[in-house]
Structure 1
C-alpha cells in the first residue's frame, strides 16, 4: 500500500488483495449478484433531476438510462458526440447566426423491452422536460431558453418548438440562438437521453410538420389532448408503478427489477449496445441499498456487501483501510470529490440579510475541527464553491496538465506565445479568496460595526450577561436568534454544537439546530418550504458542466448596491454568467473567471463553504477492472467490471495467489 499526502489530504492507492497473505478460505459467494452499499439513502427519483438529485438516485439513473447524445471523452478530456449513439455529427450556422447541431443516429439502439430508439425519442425527451405540466407535478422543468423558439413555445404563442427539428427517424437537430453563445460547455447542452414515450405518455406521438417538434395524439381521430397533467400523474408520479420511481423500461446497461423504498435490484439489459469503450455488463444481477457507517465494513467482511461506494466518515474509512491491510481479499480506491459541504442562507430570512452578519457567522465556525471530526485527513476546509476533484482546482494547484500544446517544429513566435500562456497558467492562485477560520473576536467587531448592540430588552448588549444580540430595523427589534437544518446523526449534532453553536453563543448569536433526515433536508433546501429555517447544512457534487447559476437567484446585477441577500445573489449570478459565457477553446479565460467567482463569493457570502473531501470505495478483490476514478460513478464503472472467484482462477492456472512476483492475466 502506498500512502501519499497531497494538499493536506491522505490518499491511498488500491491495495492488492493477496499481498503477504496466507492461503485464503473464500466465502461461498453468489457470483451472480453484486451487492452495493452507499451511506446516502435513495430518494426514488430515478427519472431526470427535475424532482430531486440525490447522488444515489443519480447512480440508479446511470444504470437504467444511457445513450446520451453527448458524452465526456475520458481519453480526450472534451465533450463530444457519443460515438455509440451518433454515426455522424455536424455544427453549422445559418444566415441569422443560429448555430445548428445535427446528429445522425445509429440504427442499432433499443430500449430494454426491444422497442427501437429513434430521433423521435430524443425529441420527446426535450419536449417532456420543458413541459409546463412538470411544474404542476412539483418538478422543475428544464430551462431550454437557449433554443430558438423556446419562449414562443412555452408561452403558447405557437404549438411547436422550432429549436428542435426531426427530419427523419435517424436525424435530429438543435438550433441555438446567437444570443445564447458563447457558452463554455456548449456541447453539454445537447446531452439529452432518450425516454420511452410508450411508457410515459401512451397514446401520444411526437410530430414535426416542418416548423418544429410538438406532442400530439397518436390517433388523430381521438378528441381532446391526451398529454396532460392527469396522464403524467398516473404514468410518472404513481408511487407504486410510476416512471419516476419505477423506470422499468430504459436504455441503460441494466434494467430496474424492483424498488421497495430502500433497495433497488437490477438485471442486465440484453439490448444494451455497450459503452463508448465497447464494454457490456457481465455481472448478471445488482442489488443497491443503504449501508450504515456503524457496521458497513463489518458487513463487507461478512460478504453482505461486495462494494461500498462513497464512504466519507473518518472512523469508517479507518476501519476499511485496516480491513484491506489485513490481506483478507479486499481492495480500496479513493478519489477526490468534485463537490463540497456548505451552509446556505435562506434568501428571505431577515436576520441574515447583512453581509457583516453572514461574515460574523462564518468566523464563528471552526471548519477545521468540524472537518477533522467527520473526515479527518481525508478532507480539507475550503472557502470557495469548489471541489478538490474539479479540474479547475487542479489547474490552479498545478496538479493537472495545462491544456496547451506547442506545434511540432514551432516558430520563435509560437514558442514565445506558448511560454506566455504557460506563465499565465502558473500565475493563477486562490490567494484572493477571503479565508475564514475561527475568530470570535472578529465576529464581535463585525456585529458591533453593523449596529447589533442591543439585548432583547432594547438595552445595551453586554457579553456574558445577555444571551443574544438585537438591532432596531424599521422600528422593530430584530434578534440574532437563528436556526440551522442539518442531516440528523449523533456525531453531527455533537460536532455542530462544539464547532459552531458554542462560538456563535460567545459572539452573541443564538443558534438552534434542527435535525432532519437527509431526504427531508434536501427537499426543504431545494423547495424552501420549511418555515423558520435561516440556514441549511447541505452538500453537493457538481456535474462536469459546472453551472453555479443554479445556486443563485437571478436578479438585476445593475441594481444599486444594497446590503441584502437578494443583491448578493444577483451579483453572484452575474459572475457565474460571465464565467459561462466563455468560448469553449479558452480554458484559461474560464479558470480566470472561476477564480473571480470564488473571490466574490468569499466576500458576499450567500453561502459558507465548509469542506471538500476524498471518497473511498471498498470492495472484494473478486471485483476486477473497477475503475471508479475513470468513470466517476459506480454505475458507469460497473459496466466494465467483472466479478468472479479470482483466487480460485489463479489456483486453477497454477499461479500462487500469495506470490506478488507472479504476473497473471486478468480474465475478461
Structure 2
C-alpha cells in the first residue's frame, strides 16, 4: 500500500497479443499466426531499473522495476481494475467467506481454485500464501534491510513482527486449498479494506523446500529455517525470481535489459485473459532518444512521455499510436525533513518559492502540465469533487523571491556569518549567505540524475535564485539507482555520509493511496517507507481519521482529505512541481494499447496483440 513508486523525472519523466482464456485474443483476432508480426517480440523502452523484481516493495519501489514485477507475479486474491475498482479475483479464488470471530475481528477465509500452478509446473497452494505472510512479516526480513509490512493489519502481527513469537496469529492454513486471515478490529473501518487482502504467493518449494507450515488455532509458523528462506528471498530471489506465477516468466537481467517469456501455466487475469506475446524485452534507453527509437522501429512502447517536443514528434509519426490520460501522480522535489537546513519548515517553504514551476512546465513539458500545491493527483476522484475548495485553502507557492526571503527571515537562518548581524536581503548574492545563531551556513545540496533535462533546469533555476535569498546551493548527479539509495536510505547512513537535502523525483499513487504508507507517517520515519522522514503528530492524526473512514462514507472521506492536503501543504515535505497528462506511445501495429491512470502497459499486457 505504498504510494512512492519513485519515478526519476528523466522524462518528467512468438505470437503476439493476449487472448481470452481459450478463445482467441482479447481484441477479437482469432488467429494472427499468418500475419507479418507473428512471433514478433515486444520491446519496451524504460529508464534505469534497480533490479528489485520480488513480489513486495520492501526493498524499494521503483516504477520501472514495478512494471517487470507486474508481469511476473500474480494470483493475488484481489485485483485492482483499470477503472480503479478493487474486486475479488475469481480466476484465483473459488470462494470467499467473510465472518466475525468471538473477539469482533473480521475473518476472511479464502479457497483457491483448483489447478493454479507456478511456471515450473508445481501447484500453487495455501502454503505459498501463508509462507508469504510469514516471510513478509518476519523480523528477519527487517534485519535484511526491508521495510515490508505485509500482514500488519492482522491480529497478533506485532508480536510476530518484533520476534516475540514465531507464530503469526492472524494467518491460518485451513487445508491445501484454503487459508484465512483475521483483520484486527482496531484496524477497521478502513476506506480501502479489500486492499488489505492483496498478497502474492511466495514459492515455498523454491525458497524453503525442506520446511512445512504448522497451523493451529493459535496461528501459523514455519517449521524449518526461516532465516535461510529470508536470506534466499532477500539476496537471490528478489533479483532473479525465475519461479513465479504471473503472465510472464523472468529469464534474465543483463546489459540493462530484462528478458521475459510467456508463462504457459498462467491461469489468467481477473477477467480470464492470458498472454500470447511470446517474448518481452524491457530495455533501458537514453531518455532523450526514446521517442526517436520508437519512430525508427527500435522499440515498440515508450511510456510516460511528458516533454512537449517529444509528444509532438510522436504524434506526427504515422507508425505511432498514443494513449493519453491524467497522470495518477505528480512531479516533485522531495526533501529530507530530518537533515540539515531542510529540517525547518520555513526553509522548505523558501525552496518551494524559488522554484519556478511555470518555467519548468513550459521548458520541460512544453506546456503539457499544470502546477499543483499539495499531495494529490488530478486524476483522483477527491480532487475532482473538491477542486474549488482545495484551491481556496492551499498556499500557492508561485515563484517569489520576496516570499522566500520572508520565510527565511522567520527561520533560524536570519543572520550573517557572525550569527548576530541580521541578514540584509539587499546584499544577497554569491558569497553572502544566511547563517543561524551558531554560525552555520544555510547550505542546500541537491541530488539529481545524469542526462536529465529536469536536473539541468533545476540547476539553472536554483543557481540563479538561491543566492538571491541567501542559500548556498550545491548540486551533484548520479544514476537512478544512486538517487534511490540516497533518497530511500539517507536516514540509515552514518551522519558523516549524509549530504543531500533535496532530490528531483516524481511520485505515482498506489491503488490504495493511503498517505500512512507514503513517506509521511511517524511510525515509518527513518525507514524507506518514510523516505522524507516526516514526523508531524497533527498530520498523523489526520491521516488516521482519513484511512479509518468507512468505505461507503465518501463525503466524510473527501472532507478529511481536504484537511490532510491543507496540513501537508503547510508542512511541505516535498515541493510539488507539476501535474500532467501522461502520453504512452506504441507501434501502430499493436492492438489493445489502452493504458489508463490505473493500468500501465504491463498491467494490460493481456489486452494487447499485434495486427
TM-score (normalizing by structure 1)? 0.79
- Listed one character per residue, the Cα deviations across residues 350-370 of structure 1 (whole Å, up to 9, x for unaligned) are 422332222122111101111
Q: Per-residue deviation at 1:311?
A: 2.0
What is the match of residue 59 of structure 1? 67
Match of 1:514 among 457, 476, 501: 476
| Matching of residues 155-554 of structure 1 within 5 Å | 155-217=162-224, 226-229=225-228, 231-233=229-231, 235-238=232-235, 242-323=236-317, 327=318, 329-397=319-387, 428-450=389-411, 452-458=413-419, 459-462=421-424, 463-464=426-427, 467-473=431-437, 476-489=438-451, 491-528=453-490, 529=493, 531-552=498-519, 554=521
* 8 Å contact kept, 1:69–1:82: yes
Match of 1:624 in 2: 591
Q: Distance in 1 between matches of 2:149 and 2:535?
A: 24
SS in 1 for 2:579: strand
Aligned counterpart, 1:70: 78
Q: 1:552 to 1:491 in 2, by over 3 A?
A: closer
Q: CA deviation at 1:107?
A: 0.8
* Cα pair 1:100 1:174 within 8 Å, conserved: yes
**1:74 and 1:635, CA in 2 relative to 1: closer, same or farther beyond 3 A?**
closer
Residue 112 (structure 2) pairs with residue 105 (structure 1): yes
Q: 1:646-665 residue pairs with structure 2 within 5 A?
A: none
Match of 1:419 in 2: none
Q: Cα gap change, 1:338/1:454 in structure 2, threshold over 3 Å: closer, same or farther? A: same
Paired residue for 1:130, among 129, 132, 137? 137
- State the 1:445 CA deviation: 2.0
**Closer, same or farther in 2 for the Cα pair 1:537/1:216, shift >3 Å?**
same
Contact 2:511/2:598, CA 8 A, preserved across alignment: no
Partner deviation per Cα, 1:41-67 (whole Å, 9 max, x = no partner): 211100021111111111111111111
Measured after TM superposition, the shift of residue 237 of structure 1 is 4.4
Change (3 A) 1:157 1:450: closer
Distance 1:305 1:371, change over 3 A: same
Deviations for 1:268-288, whole angstroms, at most 9, x for unmatched residues? Answer: 111111112221111111111
Instruction: Write out per-residue CA displacement over residues 313-352 of structure 1, whole angstroms, 9 at most, x where no aligned residue.
Output: 33222211121xxx3x321111221111222221322422
SS at match of 2:304: strand
Q: Which has the higher contact order (CA 8 A, sep 6+)?
A: 2
Displacement of 1:174 in angstroms is 0.9
Deviations 1:284-326 (A, max 9, x none): 1111111323322232233211222222333222211121xxx
Which structure 2 residues correspond to residues 594-613 of structure 1 after superposition, within 5 A?
594-613=561-580
Q: CA deviation at 1:552?
A: 4.0
Deviation at 1:486, TM superposition (A): 1.8
Partner of 1:7: none
Q: CA RMSD in A?
A: 2.3
Q: Is the 8 A contact 1:342 1:537 kept in 2?
A: yes
Tell me, what secondary structure is at the counterpart of 1:497? helix
Shift of the 264–31 alpha-carbon distance from structure 1 to 2, 3 Å rule, reads: farther
Cα distance in 1, alignment partners of residues 522 and 292 from structure 2: 51
Q: 1:615 — aligned with what? A: 582
Q: Which of these residues, 38, 45, 52, is aligned with residue 38 of structure 1?
A: 45
Greater CA drift, 270-279 or 58-67: 270-279
Closer/same/farther in 2, CA of residues 171 and 150 from structure 1, 3 Å limit = same
Partner Cα separation in structure 2 for residue 496 and residue 630 of structure 1: 27
Work out whether 1:88 is the aligned partner of 2:77: no
Higher gyration radius (CA): 1
1:457: how far off? Answer: 4.0
Distance 1:554 1:629, change over 3 A: closer
Task: Give the number of aligned pairs.
Answer: 560
2:5 match: none
The SS at the match of 2:503 is: strand
- Residue by residue over 1:206-232, the C-alpha shift from the partner in whole angstroms, topping out at 9 and shown as x without a partner, is 221332111113xxxxxxxx2215x54
- Say whether 1:49 aligns with 2:57: yes
Unpaired runs of at least 5, structure 1? 1-27, 218-225, 398-426, 557-564, 645-668
Deviation at 1:566, TM superposition (A): 7.8
SS at match of 1:236: helix
Deviations 1:60-95 (A, max 9, x none): 1111111111112456x5322211111111221123
Q: 1:440 to 1:63 in 2, by over 3 A?
A: same
**1:38·1:311 contact (CA, 8 Å) conserved in 2?**
no
Q: Secondary structure at the match of 1:173?
A: strand
Report the Cα offset of residue 499 of structure 1.
Answer: 2.7
**Cα 1:465–1:595 shift into 2, 3 Å:** closer
Question: Taking structure 1 as reference, are residues 63 and 439 closer, same or farther at Cα in structure 2, changes over 3 Å only?
Answer: same
Q: Which residue of 2 aligns with 1:114?
A: 121
SS in 1 for 2:605: helix
Superposed CA deviations along residues 520-541 of structure 1, whole A, max 9, x for unmatched, are: 1112111113512122222211
Q: What is the DSSP-based 3-state SS (H/G/I as helix, E as strand, rest coil) of the residue aligned with 1:228?
A: helix
Contact between 2:328 and 2:597, CA under 8 Å: does it hold in 1? no
Paired with 1:567 and 1:193, the residues of 2 have a C-alpha distance of 30
Give the drift of 1:38. Answer: 3.2
More moved, 174-183 vs 547-556: 547-556
Counterpart Cα distance in 2 of 1:158 and 1:566: 29
Give, in angstroms, the shift of residue 468 of structure 1. Answer: 4.0
Tell me, in whole angstroms, the C-alpha distance in 2 between the residues paired with 1:575 and 1:469: 37
Where structure 2 has 5 or more consecutive residues not aligned to the other structure, the ranges are 1-34, 524-531
